[in-house]
Protein backbone atom coordinates (compact mmCIF):
# COMPACT_ATOMS: atom_id res chain seq x y z
CA UNK A 1 0.00 0.00 0.00
CA UNK A 2 1.48 3.40 -0.94
CA UNK A 3 2.38 5.63 1.94
CA UNK A 4 1.17 9.20 2.22
CA UNK A 5 3.58 11.94 1.28
CA UNK A 6 5.18 13.81 4.12
CA UNK A 7 3.69 17.22 4.90
CA UNK A 8 5.40 19.78 2.69
CA UNK A 9 7.84 22.35 3.96
CA UNK A 10 6.33 25.82 4.14
CA UNK A 11 6.10 27.38 0.72
CA UNK A 12 5.93 24.13 -1.22
CA UNK A 13 2.18 23.58 -1.51
CA UNK A 14 0.76 24.04 -4.99
CA UNK A 15 -0.82 27.45 -5.46
CA UNK A 16 1.16 29.24 -2.72
CA UNK A 17 2.34 32.76 -3.49
CA UNK A 18 6.02 33.18 -4.32
CA UNK A 19 7.49 35.41 -1.62
CA UNK A 20 9.88 38.30 -2.22
CA UNK A 21 12.52 36.45 -0.17
CA UNK A 22 12.18 33.43 -2.44
CA UNK A 23 12.68 35.62 -5.51
CA UNK A 24 15.72 37.27 -3.96
CA UNK A 25 17.16 33.87 -3.11
CA UNK A 26 16.68 32.74 -6.70
CA UNK A 27 18.59 35.82 -7.88
CA UNK A 28 21.48 35.15 -5.47
CA UNK A 29 21.69 31.48 -6.43
CA UNK A 30 21.61 32.46 -10.10
CA UNK A 31 24.54 34.84 -9.53
CA UNK A 32 26.44 31.96 -7.92
CA UNK A 33 25.71 29.73 -10.90
CA UNK A 34 26.96 32.50 -13.20
CA UNK A 35 30.27 32.44 -11.30
CA UNK A 36 30.29 28.63 -11.29
CA UNK A 37 30.03 28.47 -15.05
CA UNK A 38 32.28 31.46 -15.71
CA UNK A 39 35.11 29.73 -13.87
CA UNK A 40 34.51 26.51 -15.83
CA UNK A 41 33.95 27.96 -19.29
CA UNK A 42 36.91 30.37 -19.32
CA UNK A 43 39.19 27.32 -19.39
CA UNK A 44 37.69 26.23 -22.71
CA UNK A 45 38.49 29.61 -24.29
CA UNK A 46 42.07 29.33 -23.05
CA UNK A 47 42.50 25.68 -24.09
CA UNK A 48 44.45 26.29 -27.30
CA UNK A 49 46.64 28.92 -25.58
CA UNK A 50 47.33 26.61 -22.64
CA UNK A 51 48.22 23.78 -24.99
CA UNK A 52 50.82 25.94 -26.69
CA UNK A 53 52.16 27.66 -23.56
CA UNK A 54 52.41 24.62 -21.26
CA UNK A 55 52.66 21.95 -23.99
CA UNK A 56 49.39 20.16 -23.12
CA UNK A 57 47.93 17.62 -25.56
CA UNK A 58 44.18 17.32 -26.25
CA UNK A 59 43.81 14.38 -23.86
CA UNK A 60 45.52 16.40 -21.10
CA UNK A 61 43.29 19.40 -21.82
CA UNK A 62 40.30 17.05 -21.65
CA UNK A 63 41.46 15.65 -18.31
CA UNK A 64 41.92 19.15 -16.88
CA UNK A 65 38.39 20.10 -17.94
CA UNK A 66 37.05 16.66 -16.97
CA UNK A 67 38.40 14.21 -14.41
CA UNK A 68 40.77 16.65 -12.66
CA UNK A 69 37.64 18.65 -11.87
CA UNK A 70 34.99 15.94 -11.59
CA UNK A 71 36.73 13.50 -9.22
CA UNK A 72 37.10 15.99 -6.33
CA UNK A 73 33.65 17.33 -7.24
CA UNK A 74 32.18 13.86 -6.88
CA UNK A 75 34.08 13.11 -3.68
CA UNK A 76 32.72 16.25 -2.01
CA UNK A 77 29.20 16.32 -3.37
CA UNK A 78 27.92 13.43 -1.23
CA UNK A 79 29.27 15.05 1.92
CA UNK A 80 27.65 18.35 0.92
CA UNK A 81 24.35 16.56 0.30
CA UNK A 82 24.51 15.17 3.83
CA UNK A 83 25.40 18.60 5.25
CA UNK A 84 22.57 20.54 3.61
CA UNK A 85 19.95 18.09 4.87
CA UNK A 86 21.07 18.91 8.43
CA UNK A 87 22.85 22.25 8.66
CA UNK A 88 22.87 25.77 7.23
CA UNK A 89 22.77 25.88 3.45
CA UNK A 90 23.99 29.47 3.67
CA UNK A 91 27.23 28.47 5.37
CA UNK A 92 27.81 25.60 2.94
CA UNK A 93 27.29 27.90 -0.06
CA UNK A 94 29.49 30.65 1.37
CA UNK A 95 32.37 28.24 1.90
CA UNK A 96 31.93 26.63 -1.51
CA UNK A 97 31.85 29.89 -3.49
CA UNK A 98 34.85 31.24 -1.57
CA UNK A 99 36.90 28.09 -2.19
CA UNK A 100 36.18 27.67 -5.89
CA UNK A 101 36.81 31.37 -6.62
CA UNK A 102 40.21 31.26 -4.93
CA UNK A 103 41.09 28.02 -6.77
CA UNK A 104 39.96 29.47 -10.10
CA UNK A 105 42.27 32.46 -9.60
CA UNK A 106 45.06 30.09 -8.56
CA UNK A 107 44.78 28.38 -11.97
CA UNK A 108 46.62 31.43 -13.26
CA UNK A 109 49.62 30.52 -11.12
CA UNK A 110 50.00 26.99 -12.51
CA UNK A 111 53.28 26.12 -14.24
CA UNK A 112 52.72 22.46 -15.16
CA UNK A 113 50.04 19.84 -15.75
CA UNK A 114 50.26 18.76 -12.09
CA UNK A 115 49.86 22.23 -10.59
CA UNK A 116 47.03 23.07 -13.01
CA UNK A 117 45.32 19.79 -12.08
CA UNK A 118 45.49 20.73 -8.38
CA UNK A 119 43.98 24.15 -9.10
CA UNK A 120 41.14 22.66 -11.17
CA UNK A 121 40.58 20.09 -8.41
CA UNK A 122 40.06 22.96 -5.97
CA UNK A 123 37.49 24.49 -8.32
CA UNK A 124 35.65 21.17 -8.52
CA UNK A 125 35.76 20.57 -4.77
CA UNK A 126 34.31 24.02 -4.06
CA UNK A 127 31.70 23.95 -6.81
CA UNK A 128 30.36 20.70 -5.37
CA UNK A 129 28.58 22.88 -2.80
CA UNK A 130 26.27 24.68 -5.23
CA UNK A 131 23.81 22.20 -6.75
CA UNK A 132 23.12 19.99 -3.67
CA UNK A 133 22.38 23.13 -1.65
CA UNK A 134 20.57 25.19 -4.29
CA UNK A 135 18.10 22.69 -5.73
CA UNK A 136 16.60 21.50 -2.40
CA UNK A 137 16.45 25.13 -1.26
CA UNK A 138 14.51 26.19 -4.36
CA UNK A 139 12.20 23.19 -3.99
CA UNK A 140 11.54 24.23 -0.37
CA UNK A 141 10.78 27.92 -0.98
CA UNK A 142 8.81 27.72 -4.26
CA UNK A 143 5.34 26.17 -4.79
CA UNK A 144 5.48 22.69 -6.31
CA UNK A 145 3.80 23.80 -9.53
CA UNK A 146 6.48 26.48 -10.01
CA UNK A 147 9.57 24.47 -9.08
CA UNK A 148 10.54 23.49 -12.65
CA UNK A 149 10.34 27.10 -13.80
CA UNK A 150 12.40 28.32 -10.85
CA UNK A 151 15.08 25.70 -11.39
CA UNK A 152 15.05 26.49 -15.12
CA UNK A 153 15.76 30.14 -14.28
CA UNK A 154 18.52 29.04 -11.90
CA UNK A 155 20.16 27.01 -14.67
CA UNK A 156 19.87 30.02 -16.95
CA UNK A 157 22.39 31.59 -14.57
CA UNK A 158 24.93 29.06 -15.85
CA UNK A 159 24.24 30.27 -19.35
CA UNK A 160 24.70 33.91 -18.28
CA UNK A 161 28.05 32.90 -16.82
CA UNK A 162 28.90 31.12 -20.05
CA UNK A 163 27.80 34.16 -22.04
CA UNK A 164 30.07 36.43 -20.01
CA UNK A 165 32.94 33.94 -20.19
CA UNK A 166 32.66 33.65 -23.95
CA UNK A 167 31.80 37.19 -25.05
CA UNK A 168 33.64 39.27 -22.46
CA UNK A 169 36.27 36.58 -21.92
CA UNK A 170 37.08 36.40 -25.61
CA UNK A 171 37.55 40.15 -25.81
CA UNK A 172 39.51 40.16 -22.54
CA UNK A 173 41.87 37.48 -23.80
CA UNK A 174 42.52 39.31 -27.08
CA UNK A 175 43.12 42.55 -25.15
CA UNK A 176 45.56 40.86 -22.79
CA UNK A 177 47.32 39.08 -25.66
CA UNK A 178 47.75 42.43 -27.43
CA UNK A 179 49.16 43.93 -24.22
CA UNK A 180 51.66 41.07 -23.84
CA UNK A 181 53.08 39.90 -20.52
CA UNK A 182 51.98 41.98 -17.53
CA UNK A 183 54.02 42.83 -14.45
CA UNK A 184 51.98 42.32 -11.24
CA UNK A 185 53.19 43.19 -7.71
CA UNK A 186 54.42 40.12 -5.81
CA UNK A 187 53.69 37.78 -8.75
CA UNK A 188 56.07 39.45 -11.16
CA UNK A 189 55.66 38.98 -14.94
CA UNK A 190 52.55 36.97 -15.91
CA UNK A 191 51.28 35.78 -19.31
CA UNK A 192 47.87 36.80 -20.75
CA UNK A 193 46.28 33.44 -19.91
CA UNK A 194 47.42 33.79 -16.29
CA UNK A 195 45.97 37.29 -16.04
CA UNK A 196 42.66 35.99 -17.43
CA UNK A 197 42.29 33.41 -14.66
CA UNK A 198 43.07 36.02 -12.00
CA UNK A 199 40.66 38.62 -13.37
CA UNK A 200 37.76 36.16 -13.71
CA UNK A 201 38.35 34.22 -10.48
CA UNK A 202 38.91 36.86 -7.80
CA UNK A 203 35.49 38.65 -7.93
CA UNK A 204 33.84 35.52 -6.52
CA UNK A 205 35.72 35.97 -3.24
CA UNK A 206 33.66 39.11 -2.53
CA UNK A 207 30.40 37.81 -4.02
CA UNK A 208 30.49 34.73 -1.74
CA UNK A 209 29.11 36.92 1.08
CA UNK A 210 25.76 37.11 -0.77
CA UNK A 211 25.08 33.62 0.61
CA UNK A 212 24.10 35.13 3.96
CA UNK A 213 21.11 36.83 2.29
CA UNK A 214 19.44 33.57 1.25
CA UNK A 215 16.11 32.40 2.63
CA UNK A 216 16.36 29.10 4.43
CA UNK A 217 13.71 26.87 6.05
CA UNK A 218 14.92 26.07 9.53
CA UNK A 219 16.35 22.60 10.04
CA UNK A 220 14.27 22.29 13.23
CA UNK A 221 11.11 22.98 11.23
CA UNK A 222 11.97 20.17 8.85
CA UNK A 223 12.68 17.89 11.82
CA UNK A 224 9.20 18.62 13.24
CA UNK A 225 7.70 17.86 9.85
CA UNK A 226 9.45 14.49 9.79
CA UNK A 227 8.23 13.65 13.28
CA UNK A 228 4.63 14.43 12.30
CA UNK A 229 4.97 12.35 9.14
CA UNK A 230 6.41 9.43 11.06
CA UNK A 231 3.48 9.44 13.46
CA UNK A 232 0.94 9.29 10.60
CA UNK A 233 2.36 6.38 8.59
CA UNK A 234 3.16 2.77 9.41
CA UNK A 235 5.84 2.30 6.77
CA UNK A 236 9.25 3.79 6.21
CA UNK A 237 8.91 4.54 2.46
CA UNK A 238 9.08 8.29 2.86
CA UNK A 239 11.23 8.36 6.00
CA UNK A 240 14.52 6.66 5.15
CA UNK A 241 16.87 6.39 2.21
CA UNK A 242 16.42 2.62 2.23
CA UNK A 243 12.65 2.99 2.09
CA UNK A 244 12.82 5.49 -0.74
CA UNK A 245 15.11 3.26 -2.80
CA UNK A 246 12.87 0.28 -2.10
CA UNK A 247 9.89 2.09 -3.62
CA UNK A 248 11.52 4.17 -6.34
CA UNK A 249 14.87 2.63 -7.21
CA UNK A 250 14.01 2.18 -10.89
CA UNK A 251 13.12 5.84 -11.31
CA UNK A 252 16.25 6.98 -9.50
CA UNK A 253 18.62 4.74 -11.46
CA UNK A 254 17.22 5.56 -14.89
CA UNK A 255 16.90 9.27 -14.09
CA UNK A 256 20.43 9.53 -12.72
CA UNK A 257 21.96 7.77 -15.71
CA UNK A 258 19.83 9.76 -18.18
CA UNK A 259 20.73 13.17 -16.74
CA UNK A 260 24.38 12.13 -16.46
CA UNK A 261 24.58 11.20 -20.14
CA UNK A 262 22.74 14.44 -21.00
CA UNK A 263 25.48 16.21 -19.05
CA UNK A 264 28.09 14.38 -21.11
CA UNK A 265 26.57 15.82 -24.29
CA UNK A 266 26.34 19.34 -22.86
CA UNK A 267 29.84 19.43 -21.41
CA UNK A 268 31.30 18.06 -24.62
CA UNK A 269 29.80 21.06 -26.41
CA UNK A 270 30.89 23.48 -23.68
CA UNK A 271 34.47 22.18 -23.55
CA UNK A 272 35.28 21.76 -27.23
CA UNK A 273 33.19 24.21 -29.29
CA UNK A 274 35.65 27.09 -28.80
CA UNK A 275 38.73 25.01 -29.76
CA UNK A 276 36.77 23.61 -32.73
CA UNK A 277 35.95 27.08 -34.05
CA UNK A 278 39.56 28.18 -33.66
CA UNK A 279 41.06 25.16 -35.39
CA UNK A 280 38.46 24.85 -38.14
CA UNK A 281 37.92 28.47 -39.10
CA UNK A 282 40.92 30.26 -37.57
CA UNK A 283 38.69 32.77 -35.78
CA UNK A 284 40.11 35.19 -33.21
CA UNK A 285 39.23 34.81 -29.53
CA UNK A 286 36.83 37.73 -29.81
CA UNK A 287 34.92 36.12 -32.71
CA UNK A 288 34.94 32.71 -31.00
CA UNK A 289 33.70 34.35 -27.81
CA UNK A 290 30.86 36.07 -29.67
CA UNK A 291 29.83 32.82 -31.40
CA UNK A 292 29.85 30.71 -28.25
CA UNK A 293 28.13 33.52 -26.33
CA UNK A 294 25.22 33.24 -28.78
CA UNK A 295 24.95 29.59 -27.79
CA UNK A 296 24.73 30.61 -24.16
CA UNK A 297 21.99 33.13 -24.98
CA UNK A 298 19.96 30.38 -26.63
CA UNK A 299 20.49 28.07 -23.62
CA UNK A 300 19.68 30.99 -21.33
CA UNK A 301 16.29 31.32 -23.02
CA UNK A 302 15.74 27.57 -23.31
CA UNK A 303 16.28 26.71 -19.65
CA UNK A 304 13.36 28.76 -18.24
CA UNK A 305 11.27 28.13 -21.39
CA UNK A 306 11.42 24.34 -21.04
CA UNK A 307 10.82 24.70 -17.29
CA UNK A 308 7.64 26.70 -17.90
CA UNK A 309 6.45 24.16 -20.48
CA UNK A 310 7.09 21.31 -18.01
CA UNK A 311 5.19 23.17 -15.26
CA UNK A 312 2.22 23.74 -17.57
CA UNK A 313 2.11 20.07 -18.51
CA UNK A 314 2.17 19.18 -14.83
CA UNK A 315 -0.71 21.57 -14.06
CA UNK A 316 -2.68 19.84 -16.83
CA UNK A 317 -2.28 16.56 -14.99
CA UNK A 318 0.84 15.15 -16.69
CA UNK A 319 3.01 14.16 -13.75
CA UNK A 320 5.71 13.12 -16.23
CA UNK A 321 5.70 16.58 -17.82
CA UNK A 322 9.46 17.04 -17.40
CA UNK A 323 10.15 13.85 -19.34
CA UNK A 324 7.61 14.73 -22.04
CA UNK A 325 9.60 17.90 -22.71
CA UNK A 326 13.11 16.50 -22.72
CA UNK A 327 12.82 13.18 -24.56
CA UNK A 328 12.15 14.81 -27.96
CA UNK A 329 14.73 17.53 -27.26
CA UNK A 330 17.49 14.98 -26.68
CA UNK A 331 16.56 13.10 -29.85
CA UNK A 332 16.59 16.29 -31.95
CA UNK A 333 19.99 17.24 -30.55
CA UNK A 334 21.71 14.41 -32.46
CA UNK A 335 21.07 15.65 -36.04
CA UNK A 336 21.54 19.27 -34.95
CA UNK A 337 25.01 18.47 -33.63
CA UNK A 338 25.96 16.29 -36.60
CA UNK A 339 25.11 19.01 -39.12
CA UNK A 340 26.68 21.78 -37.06
CA UNK A 341 30.05 20.10 -36.57
CA UNK A 342 30.41 18.14 -39.82
CA UNK A 343 29.25 20.65 -42.44
CA UNK A 344 32.15 23.08 -42.47
CA UNK A 345 30.29 26.15 -43.67
CA UNK A 346 30.43 28.93 -41.05
CA UNK A 347 26.78 30.02 -41.32
CA UNK A 348 25.52 26.41 -41.18
CA UNK A 349 27.80 25.66 -38.25
CA UNK A 350 26.51 28.61 -36.23
CA UNK A 351 22.81 27.94 -36.92
CA UNK A 352 23.00 24.29 -35.90
CA UNK A 353 25.37 25.03 -33.05
CA UNK A 354 22.62 27.27 -31.63
CA UNK A 355 19.96 24.59 -32.21
CA UNK A 356 22.11 21.99 -30.44
CA UNK A 357 22.36 24.33 -27.46
CA UNK A 358 18.59 24.78 -27.42
CA UNK A 359 18.03 21.02 -27.32
CA UNK A 360 21.03 19.59 -25.45
CA UNK A 361 22.49 22.39 -23.33
CA UNK A 362 19.21 23.84 -22.01
CA UNK A 363 18.29 20.88 -19.80
CA UNK A 364 18.31 22.70 -16.45
CA UNK A 365 14.60 22.21 -15.84
CA UNK A 366 15.13 18.46 -16.11
CA UNK A 367 16.99 18.73 -12.82
CA UNK A 368 13.69 19.63 -11.15
CA UNK A 369 12.45 16.08 -11.71
CA UNK A 370 14.28 14.69 -8.67
CA UNK A 371 13.16 17.57 -6.46
CA UNK A 372 9.52 16.84 -7.34
CA UNK A 373 9.94 13.08 -6.90
CA UNK A 374 11.79 13.11 -3.55
CA UNK A 375 10.72 13.98 0.01
CA UNK A 376 12.14 17.22 1.38
CA UNK A 377 14.39 15.62 3.99
CA UNK A 378 16.15 13.39 1.44
CA UNK A 379 16.60 15.86 -1.42
CA UNK A 380 20.13 16.94 -0.50
CA UNK A 381 21.49 13.40 -0.22
CA UNK A 382 19.66 12.12 -3.29
CA UNK A 383 20.89 15.11 -5.28
CA UNK A 384 24.39 14.41 -4.01
CA UNK A 385 24.27 10.77 -5.14
CA UNK A 386 23.00 11.82 -8.56
CA UNK A 387 25.74 14.41 -8.88
CA UNK A 388 28.45 11.86 -8.06
CA UNK A 389 27.37 9.82 -11.08
CA UNK A 390 26.92 12.93 -13.22
CA UNK A 391 30.36 14.10 -12.12
CA UNK A 392 32.04 10.97 -13.42
CA UNK A 393 29.97 10.53 -16.59
CA UNK A 394 29.14 14.11 -17.54
CA UNK A 395 31.72 16.47 -16.07
CA UNK A 396 34.48 13.88 -16.22
CA UNK A 397 34.00 11.85 -19.39
CA UNK A 398 32.35 14.61 -21.46
CA UNK A 399 35.41 16.83 -21.96
CA UNK A 400 37.77 13.83 -22.11
CA UNK A 401 35.79 11.83 -24.68
CA UNK A 402 36.03 14.27 -27.59
CA UNK A 403 39.71 14.94 -26.90
CA UNK A 404 40.39 11.21 -26.74
CA UNK A 405 38.55 10.56 -30.00
CA UNK A 406 40.50 13.33 -31.74
CA UNK A 407 43.91 12.28 -30.43
CA UNK A 408 43.65 8.49 -30.36
CA UNK A 409 40.84 7.41 -32.73
CA UNK A 410 40.89 9.99 -35.54
CA UNK A 411 44.55 10.83 -34.73
CA UNK A 412 44.30 14.46 -35.76
CA UNK A 413 43.93 17.82 -33.97
CA UNK A 414 41.70 18.83 -36.88
CA UNK A 415 39.21 16.00 -36.20
CA UNK A 416 37.39 17.74 -33.35
CA UNK A 417 34.13 17.93 -35.36
CA UNK A 418 33.71 14.15 -35.82
CA UNK A 419 34.93 13.62 -32.26
CA UNK A 420 32.29 15.96 -30.81
CA UNK A 421 29.56 14.34 -32.93
CA UNK A 422 30.60 10.82 -31.85
CA UNK A 423 30.50 11.73 -28.15
CA UNK A 424 27.18 13.60 -28.32
CA UNK A 425 25.42 10.97 -30.46
CA UNK A 426 26.28 8.04 -28.20
CA UNK A 427 25.35 9.92 -25.03
CA UNK A 428 22.08 11.31 -26.42
CA UNK A 429 20.81 7.95 -27.63
CA UNK A 430 21.45 6.44 -24.19
CA UNK A 431 19.79 9.39 -22.41
CA UNK A 432 16.63 9.29 -24.53
CA UNK A 433 16.30 5.51 -24.12
CA UNK A 434 16.65 5.74 -20.34
CA UNK A 435 14.03 8.49 -20.04
CA UNK A 436 11.56 6.54 -22.19
CA UNK A 437 12.22 3.43 -20.10
CA UNK A 438 11.82 5.25 -16.76
CA UNK A 439 8.98 7.66 -17.60
CA UNK A 440 6.20 5.75 -15.82
CA UNK A 441 8.37 5.13 -12.76
CA UNK A 442 9.03 8.87 -12.57
CA UNK A 443 5.31 9.67 -12.67
CA UNK A 444 4.70 7.22 -9.80
CA UNK A 445 7.49 8.80 -7.74
CA UNK A 446 6.03 12.30 -8.25
CA UNK A 447 2.55 11.09 -7.34
CA UNK A 448 3.86 9.64 -4.09
CA UNK A 449 5.10 13.11 -3.05
CA UNK A 450 1.97 15.06 -3.92
CA UNK A 451 0.47 16.89 -0.90
CA UNK A 452 -2.63 15.18 0.50
CA UNK A 453 -5.66 17.37 -0.09
CA UNK A 454 -8.58 17.43 2.37
Q: With 50 as the cut, is the pLDDT of residue 2 above it? A: no
Of the pLDDT bands very low, low, confident and very high (cuts 50, 70, 90), residue 11 is very low
Q: With 80 as the cut, is the pLDDT of residue 228 above it? A: no
Please tell me whether residue 184 adopts helix, strand or coil conformation.
Answer: strand
pLDDT value at residue 106: 93
* pLDDT top residue among 16 and 173: 173
CB contact set of 95 (below 8 Å; sequence gap of 6+): 126, 129
pLDDT value at residue 130: 92
Cα torsion through 376, 146, 368, 442, rounded to 10: 80
Q: With 80 as the cut, is the pLDDT of residue 258 above it? A: yes
pLDDT value at residue 390: 84
pLDDT value at residue 164: 75
Q: Which structural domains are found in the chain, ordered by start?
A: 20-448 (1.20.1250.20)
Of the pLDDT bands very low, low, confident and very high (cuts 50, 70, 90), residue 239 is low
* pLDDT top residue among 216 and 382: 382
Q: With 80 as the cut, is the pLDDT of residue 235 above it? A: no
Q: With 60 as the cut, is the pLDDT of residue 169 above it? A: yes
CB contact set of 357 (below 8 Å; sequence gap of 6+): 269, 295, 296, 298, 299, 302
Q: With 70 as the cut, is the pLDDT of residue 353 above it? A: yes
pLDDT value at residue 16: 63
Please tell me whether residue 186 adopts helix, strand or coil conformation.
Answer: coil
**pLDDT (average), residues 320-346:** 93
**pLDDT (average), residues 375-379:** 82
Q: What is the mean pLDDT of the chain?
A: 83
% of residues, the chain, pLDDT over 90: 29
Convert the pLDDT of each residue in 24-80 to its tens digit: 999 899 889 888 888 877 888 888 888 888 888 888 888 888 888 888 988 888 888
pLDDT value at residue 218: 63
**CA distance linking residue 189 with residue 176, whole number of Å:** 13
* Residue 327, CA distances (Å) to 82, 187, 216, 355 in order: 31, 50, 33, 15
Residue among 216, 246, 260, 307 nearest 448 (CA): 246
Of the pLDDT bands very low, low, confident and very high (cuts 50, 70, 90), residue 356 is very high
| Cα angle for residues 300, 303, 306 (degrees, 5° grid) | 140
Of the pLDDT bands very low, low, confident and very high (cuts 50, 70, 90), residue 13 is very low
Q: With 50 as the cut, is the pLDDT of residue 251 above it? A: yes
In this structure, how many other beta carbons lie within 10 angstroms of the beta carbon of residue 57? 14
Strands (E), 133-266: 182-184, 188-190
pLDDT value at residue 451: 66
CB 301 within 8 A of CB 158: no
Question: What is the distance, to the nearest Å, from the Cα of residue 161 to the centroid of all Cα atoms in its chain?
Answer: 11
Amino acid sequence: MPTPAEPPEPGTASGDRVTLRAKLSLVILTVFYMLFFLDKQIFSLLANMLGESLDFGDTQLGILQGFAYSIPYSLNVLFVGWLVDRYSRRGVLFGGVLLWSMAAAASGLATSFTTMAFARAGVGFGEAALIPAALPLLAAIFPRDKVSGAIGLFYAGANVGGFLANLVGGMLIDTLVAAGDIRVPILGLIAPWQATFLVTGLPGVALAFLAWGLAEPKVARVARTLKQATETTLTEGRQTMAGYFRDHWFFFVTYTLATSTMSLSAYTLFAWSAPYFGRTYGWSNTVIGAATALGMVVSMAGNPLWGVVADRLRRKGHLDGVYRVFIPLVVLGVPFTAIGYLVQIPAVTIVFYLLSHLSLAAFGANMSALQLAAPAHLRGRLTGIKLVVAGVIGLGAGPVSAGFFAEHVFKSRDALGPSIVASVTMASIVAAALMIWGRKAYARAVLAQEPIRP
